[in-house]
Amino acid sequence: MDNQALPFRKLGNSDVSISALGLGCWQFSKGNGMVGKFWPSMKQEDINEIIKICYEGGINWFDTAEAYGKGQSEEALGDALNELGAEDALVATKWWPLLRTAKNIPRTIDQRLQALKGRKIDLYQVHQPYSFSSAEKEMNAMADLLEEGKIGHAGVSNFNAASMRKAHEALQKRGFQLSSNQVKYSLLDRRIEENGILEAAREIGATIIAYSPLEQGILSGKFHRQPELLKNLSGPRKHFSQFKGKALAKSLPLIDLLEKLGEEYGVKPGQVALNWLIRYHGDTVVAIPGASKLRHAKENIGTLRFSLSDAHMEEIDAMSKKVTKG
């Protein structure tokens, strides 16, 4: 067992160093907006404490979005970081493209900066590939903001491999590079390994930012061991197929393995799952688990305090593929 903390990585081909885990801040939406209603509303003092634990534990970047509570998550994050005095903490946020054109990117950037309470935007991402403009036009708008110094780096989210390459080429023409693609990726959802997204990221030197890395808590094993918790699910999660009995039974062998290895390393199953995710593909993949409770934040930090052996990573890989096939 290696007790050395995982080193920081570079964001894409930039000189910006990021921790292998960031904190996903969707849950700080305070119940506002269609997207924000996914999570129960949280008190600002609880948000402040979660961010403090993460920052002091070695997580140096925080991912939010305009769509998270219609800016409420950005405001909560900005307030928390400012109260903490975390001047060197990095902020990633996202522009919401639905029913908009690329011209909206520069028009709304000051709103994003205002919501973040004066924090810099170190990484600005196009949240979805669906808009009235092409990826090329969106990246040209991003390049304008880069030239103006209003954002540090440009990324995308949920883009397929072809759109990633188009975005990267458009930025290259302006002297910049695509830094990242934020996509769903976990031991129970490995589509990016098959659809070319991971390969494209490696080719262009972009970082993969994995969201839902614990599959909304499924990889923690709590729903397998305490099925009564399924009755307490709120929002859209209670309707998701992966929370149904058949899917939980199918993923049980993977949970069993994560628990077994967790006992060996003295950590929890979810920490094993996250450690695999941020190590198996070298420096290409980072992850942004959320935290709605203090213990979640502490568990996230614990993920950075050990390293799975190569043999154990291969064992997890094989079991993951076995339970996800078909």
What are the pLDDT digits (tens) for 3-15? 456 679 999 999 9
CA distance 326 to 321: 10
Q: Return the minimum-mean-pLDDT range out of 111-120, 176-185, 249-258, 277-286.
A: 249-258
Phi, psi of 40 (to 5 degrees): -65, 155
Selected residue with higher pLDDT from 68 and 220: 68
User: Mind telling me the catalytic residues?
Assistant: 68
Give this prediction's pTM.
Answer: 0.94
Terminal-residue alpha carbon distance, the chain: 34
Q: How many Å apart are CA 266 and CA 306, to the nearest integer? A: 10
- Residue 172's Cβ-count burial label (10 Å; 0-12, 13-18, 19+) is middle
Tens digit of pLDDT for each residue in 133-143? 999 999 999 99
Query: Residue written as tokens 């036009």?
Result: 137
What per-residue confidence (pLDDT) applies to 308? 97
216 pLDDT exceeds 80? yes
Res 106: pLDDT: 98
Considering only CA atoms, which of 286, 152, 122 is closest in space to residue 207?
A: 286
Domains in the chain, ordered, with CATH?
9-217+270-308 (3.20.20.100)
Mean pLDDT of the chain: 91
The answer to whether the CB of 68 falls within 8 A of the CB of 35 is yes
